[in-house]
């Protein structure tokens, strides 16, 4: 096979992997923050979905990219604060509350979409001014003619929207913040032994609320990616389980931001491969015909279950994860 063709295919697969992985990475980092602080977050899917709707609705109504991002951030943080009010301040069941947020978001986005836009729950297509434009496009075009590595660097790594690079840059930043700073040590201690944190004169509630606020920002950015970069508008249930996949990637990555990144890239790679397998003919030994679309679409989710069930190895969640802290003195 021609080297240029191979390089082009690798570049295309790499670009698809990064594009698909971006919301997963942002959402997985959000989960790392909240769960390291001791708060289980099964509401990732709902926060991402409602933030995506907010970005799509605000962008369609105002024609402003800045207001679309602001609306998504406000909604994401507000949902996280609601989650914190119920499970941190009032010691509610964190699993039930997270699922409730997701169910509310799934229904509310459809109801509001129909009421506001009369398009079956969708928002109108966004103009180009509201879309996130690729970065480094000129450099990418200049590198593509270079043999072998040019298409991979230019077509695979460059020319993505800014949220792709932000997601990748946040991984080392979060690692440094969690493991090399005082606030990171306090946050991790809150998820391991909140009584010790309280005895040291620190606010357990304050640290958990802070982690949830950052969690809401990251979920909002993940939802914004779907509407402002990948799709042209909001579509009901467009997150399609990505919040749960990000949660699985975080567990597969053992609550560590760098390991969670690799898990997200793996899931994104499988999703990109699944897209390319559509329409591919099966070998004659397997009966011929095209690969079933349903099997292809289920591949990333099936592998998620398989990896978590058999290949996760030994991993230990934060000791106080899911346990409400009640001050006894």
Q: According to the model, what pLDDT value does residue 300 have?
A: 66
Contact call for residues 246 and 24 (beta carbons, < 8 A): yes
Closest to 88 (Cα-Cα) out of 35, 39, 31, 30: 39
Query: Could you tell me the maximum CA-CA distance found in the chain, to the nearest angstrom?
Result: 73
Place of tokens 């800045």: 66
Give residue 101's pLDDT: 92
Give the pLDDT of residue 296.
67
User: Which pLDDT does position 1 carry in this prediction?
Assistant: 46
Query: 255-274 in b/e burial notation, b at 16+ Cβ within 10 A?
Result: bbbebbbebbbbbbbbbbeb
Crossing angle for the helix pair 3-36 and 242-252, nearest 10 degrees? Answer: 80
Domains in the chain with CATH codes: 3-310 (1.10.3470)
The pTM for the full model equals 0.90
Give the per-residue pLDDT at 220.
96
Please choose, from the candidates 56, 53, 75, 76, the residue with its C-alpha nearest in 3D space to the C-alpha of residue 64.
56
**Rounded to whole angstroms, what are the CA distances from 111 to 50, 117, 202, 233, 270?**
12, 10, 42, 16, 33
| Contact between residue 249 and residue 105 where contact means Cβ atoms under 8 Å apart | no
Neighbour tally for 178: CB within 10 Å: 19
Distance, in Å, from the CA atom of 270 to the CA atom of 302, rounded to the nearest integer, reads: 10
Residue 31 confidence (pLDDT): 95
**Residue pLDDT tens, the chain, 329 long:** 455 566 667 777 888 888 889 999 999 999 999 999 999 999 999 999 999 999 999 999 998 999 999 999 999 999 999 999 999 999 888 999 999 999 999 999 999 999 998 888 889 998 888 888 877 666 666 666 666 666 666 666 777 889 999 999 999 999 999 999 999 999 999 999 999 999 888 999 999 999 999 999 999 999 999 999 988 889 999 998 889 889 988 988 889 999 999 989 988 888 877 777 766 666 656 556 666 666 766 766 777 677 666 655 566 788 888 888 887 66
| 309 CB-contact burial (10 Å; exposed 0-12 / middle 13-18 / buried 19+) | exposed
Closest CA to 44 of 251, 312, 321, 239: 239
Angstrom distance (rounded) from CA 252 to CA 315:
8
What values do phi and psi take at 290, rounded to 5? -80, 155
Contact 163/293 with Cβ under 8 angstroms?
no
């Amino acid at each position: 096979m021609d080297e240029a063709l191979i390089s082009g295919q690798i570049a295309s697969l790499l670009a698809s992997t990064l594009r698909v992985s971006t919301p997963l990475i942002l959402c997985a980092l959000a989960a790392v923050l909240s769960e390291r602080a001791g708060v289980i977050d099964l509401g990732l899917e709902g926060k991402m979905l409602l933030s995506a709707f907010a970005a799509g609705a605000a962008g369609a109504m105002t024609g402003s990219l800045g207001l679309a991002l602001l609306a998504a951030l406000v909604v994401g943080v507000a949902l996280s604060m609601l989650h914190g009010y119920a499970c941190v301040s009032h010691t509610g069941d964190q699993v039930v509350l997270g699922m409730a947020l997701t169910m509310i978001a799934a229904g509310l986005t459809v109801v509001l979409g129909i009421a506001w836009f009369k398009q079956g729950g969708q928002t109108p297509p966004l103009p180009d001014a509201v879309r996130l434009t690729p970065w480094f496009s000129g450099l990418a075009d200049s590198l593509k003619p270079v043999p072998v590595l040019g298409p991979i660097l230019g077509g695979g790594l460059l020319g993505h929207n800014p949220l792709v690079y932000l997601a990748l840059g946040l991984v080392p930043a979060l690692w440094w913040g969690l493991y090399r700073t005082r606030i990171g040590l306090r946050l991790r201690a809150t998820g391991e032994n909140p009584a010790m944190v309280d005895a040291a004169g620190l606010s357990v509630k304050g640290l958990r609320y802070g982690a949830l606020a950052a969690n809401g920002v990251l979920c909002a950015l993940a939802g914004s990616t779907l509407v402002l970069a990948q799709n042209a508008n909001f579509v009901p249930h467009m997150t399609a389980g990505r919040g749960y996949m990000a949660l699985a990637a975080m567990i597969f990555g053992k609550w560590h931001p760098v390991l969670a990144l690799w898990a997200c890239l793996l899931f994104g790679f499988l999703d990109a491969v699944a897209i390319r397998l559509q329409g591919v003919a099966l070998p004659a030994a397997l009966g011929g015909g095209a690969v079933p679309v349903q099997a292809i679409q289920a591949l990333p989710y099936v592998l998620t279950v398989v990896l978590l069930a058999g290949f996760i190895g030994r991993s230990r969640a934060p000791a106080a994860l899911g346990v409400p802290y009640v001050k006894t003195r």
